[in-house]
Amino acid sequence: MGRRAVVVERLEDHPNLGEVLGVLAQLAHITDDELVRLSGAWTNTVAVASARDAALSPDSPLVCEVLAAFDALGALYAEDLAGEASYLVLAPDTVSTALKAVRDAIAGAYAKPVLTRSEHAALLAPWRAVYPRPTVDEPDLGPQAEQVKALLSLMPVLAGRCHDVSGQALFDALVDRSFAAESERAEALEAAFQAAVLTSRRRVWALVRRSGAEGLSRPCGTCRRPTAPGAVDREAQRVMALCLDAACALLVADTLPDATTAVLTTPVTELVPLQRRPED
């Protein structure tokens, strides 16, 4: 019997949206203990492999988004998989196996409309063993979440500067700011990252930086072309670092001295109000 076709053009229209968002929101918040449990719960049986093949078939809903989520997951746990940082406690093999369980959960949640009940259950079983109840509907960006989101929402505005006079002016101003107090900002950024490690937010830190980088590197909505190569790219990298350093400082601002936070945020926030920018 052939599988029923389910056409989904946007994540917002997905019939299993709640479960999809619950899994995605948890990706940056999986603790080391939970990674161990996910690793122990995952087995690659024939039934699981068959269900995975079905979930990743070209006819599955939003399968390209699933593959993008896999890529993002690898980026979030790149340090854990490398196993070189002094603050890591888990063996890379444990993390690698746990991430297989997470990928199955992502694939199963997205593909539920085209899977049998047993296929969906097989892919989600390790995840549900660790997270029996649905989780939050978006990542936890801490007490300053709205300010972090405001800075992240700025990145697409800067990406469209080629057709936006105000966006270009802001970009140029941020380029100028990026050359000031570089050594002080480097020291403050190291302190902020150590705070992220100590408060178990280093994966959220990676999520913030990846989200911001994607926002600035997306094609312009008018000309549909990415940032031009050469000197402009180098300027864009400086602006990206300046903005994302500020966003990450806000992520851990509740654990940093105010002066350290200010070193990283002031160059941006003097130009950009901290209230949440309206989304298009």
Residue spans per domain, the chain:
11-130, 145-269
Q: What percent of the chain has pLDDT over 90?
A: 70
Cβ(239)–Cβ(180) below 8 Å: no
Summarised one tens digit per residue, pLDDT across range 68-78 is: 999 999 999 99
pLDDT tens digits, 71-116: 999 999 999 999 999 999 999 999 999 999 999 999 999 999 999 9
276 has pLDDT over 60 = no
Phi-psi region for residue 278, left (φ > 0), alpha (ψ -120 to 50) or beta? Answer: beta
What pLDDT score was predicted for residue 84?
94
Cβ–Cβ < 8 Å for 36, 94: yes
How many Å apart are CA 218 and CA 116, to the nearest integer? 36
Whether residue 130 contacts residue 102, with contact meaning beta carbons closer than 8 Å, is answered with no
pTM of the predicted model as reported, rounded to 2 decimal places: 0.81
Average pLDDT over residues 161-172: 85
Q: What sign results for the dihedral spanned by CA atoms 81, 87, 30, 145?
A: negative
Residue partners of 279: CB distance under 8 A and separation at least 6: 153
> Tokens at residue 111, please?
């593909």
Give the pair of three-digit tokens for residue 103: 């990928």
DSSP 8-state assignment for residue 161: G
Segment 253-268 mean pLDDT: 95
Cα 62 to Cα 59: distance, rounded to the nearest angstrom = 9
CB-CB contact of 233 with 123 (8 Å):
no
pLDDT value of residue 278: 42
SS3 content of the chain, % helix, strand, coil (to 5): 70, 0, 30
Beta carbons of 260 and 187 less than 8 angstroms apart: no
Instruction: Check if the beta carbon of residue 64 is closer than 8 Å to that of residue 8.
Output: no
pLDDT of residue 225: 54
List, for residues 199-253, the tens digit of each pLDDT value: 999 999 999 999 998 888 776 666 655 544 433 478 889 999 999 999 999 999 9
DSSP label at residue 276: P
